[in-house]
């Protein structure tokens, strides 16, 4: 497996798991910064590498009335401030080709949203930035379909690739996490991340917004660590019930330490016995 390096963080190829975490969307500069600061403190205590994530614009919301975030210009400014002051690598998602150039100036990892992962021109445009690319596997794709996405990115010469499992559509307004997908996708030569919060999302389940079952986040995250994922993706919030976006599937920041401690012990056990 190829080892991916992002600002000194080594991902895959036998390295301990890393964490991608942050609130779903930027709600305010102060809250985003404070959340990132607390995340850094928690992960530093546990010695877990951290990539901070948050969206400047959620262009794929269920309802026209759903909050989308501060937008490209203001959102990137907030993310740059977090990056510079806290010395953290930053990940965010792009939703159109005209965002990519500006986003690539700030982001260390550009995320391709699940609904756009098969859009060839879009994928290639992101890959051409030479930034690390995190592909959210569409909930309509099999794990082996991601090999074709990888080839599209590789065609540009970019081999800084992460693939993220975020559940598969299971009837209406429901997702199921198939842990077989993690070892299948790891066979394609790149690190695989498990998105523990979007995997418990109930898309459109609340009518004008997505529902979620955050009570299952820790269970699925532990399962993914036991299977041998290279990273865990979690959306966190200081008060998920008041979050503007994806609150039902985000976990409370105060609960993160114990979850990560459990995941680290599982990951250490798996690597100790070379089960990956």
115-144 tens-digit pLDDT:
999 999 999 999 999 999 999 999 999 999
Mean pLDDT, rounded, for 59-72 = 84
pLDDT at 64: 85
pTM confidence score: 0.96
pLDDT at 274: 76
Give me the pLDDT at residue 35, please.
98
Question: Highest mean pLDDT range out of 62-66, 238-242, 261-265?
Answer: 261-265
CA nearest neighbour of 52 among 35, 30, 77: 35
How crowded is the C-beta side of 95, counted as CA atoms within 13 Å? Answer: 11
Tokens of 240: 């998920």
Could you tell me the pLDDT band of residue 212, with boundaries at 50, 70 and 90?
Answer: confident
> How much is the pLDDT for 62?
76
Mean pLDDT of 19-37: 97
CB 186 within 8 A of CB 154: no
- Taking 80 as the threshold, does the pLDDT of residue 209 lie above it? no
> Who's near 231: CB < 8 A, 6+ residues apart?
11, 17, 18, 19, 20, 162, 191, 192, 193, 194
Q: Which two tokens stand for residue 119?
A: 């859009």
Task: Provide the greatest CA pair distance for the chain.
Answer: 50
**How far apart, in whole angstroms, are the C-alpha atoms of residue 180 and residue 165?**
11
Q: Please, which pLDDT band fits residue 273 given cuts at 50, 70 and 90?
A: confident
User: What 8-state DSSP symbol labels residue 214?
Assistant: G
Average pLDDT over residues 14-18: 96
What whole-number distance in Å separates Cα of residue 222 and Cα of residue 247?
Answer: 21
**C-alpha span between 142 and 162 (Å, rounded):** 16
* pLDDT average, residue stretch 60-71: 84
**2, 175, 204, 229 from 191: Cα distances, Å:** 7, 22, 30, 8
Domains annotated on the chain, with CATH? 4-270 (3.20.20.70)
| Per-residue pLDDT at 253 | 97
Q: Is 52 helix (H, G, I), strand (E, B) or coil?
A: strand
pLDDT score at 275 = 64
Mean pLDDT, rounded, for 260-276: 90
């Amino acid at each position: 497996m190829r080892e991916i390096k992002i600002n000194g963080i080594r991902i895959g190829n036998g390295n301990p798991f890393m964490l991608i975490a942050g609130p779903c969307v930027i709600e305010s500069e102060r809250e985003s910064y404070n959340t990132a600061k607390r995340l850094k403190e928690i992960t530093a205590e546990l010695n877990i590498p951290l990539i901070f994530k948050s969206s400047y614009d959620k262009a794929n919301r269920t309802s026209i009335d759903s909050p989308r975030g501060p937008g490209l210009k203001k959102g990137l400014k907030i993310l740059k401030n977090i990056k510079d002051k806290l010395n953290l690598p930053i990940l965010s998602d792009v939703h159109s080709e005209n965002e990519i150039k500006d986003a690539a100036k700030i982001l260390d990892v550009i995320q391709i949203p699940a609904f756009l992962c098969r859009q060839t021109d879009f994928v290639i445009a992101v890959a051409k930035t030479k930034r690390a690319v995190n592909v959210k596997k569409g909930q309509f794709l099999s794990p082996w379909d991601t090999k074709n996405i990888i080839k599209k990115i590789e065609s540009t010469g970019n081999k800084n690739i992460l693939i993220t499992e975020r559940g598969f559509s299971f009837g209406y307004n429901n997702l199921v996490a198939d842990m077989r997908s993690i070892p299948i996708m790891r066979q394609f030569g790149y690190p695989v991340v498990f998105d523990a919060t979007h995997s418990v999302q109930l898309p459109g389940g609340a009518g004008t917004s997505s529902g979620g079952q955050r009570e299952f986040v820790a269970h699925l995250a532990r399962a993914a660590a036991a299977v041998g994922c290279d990273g865990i993706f979690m959306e966190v919030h200081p008060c998920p019930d008041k979050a503007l976006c994806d609150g039902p599937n985000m976990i409370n920041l105060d609960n993160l330490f114990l979850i990560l401690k459990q995941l680290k012990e599982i990951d250490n056990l798996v690597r100790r016995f070379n089960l990956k």
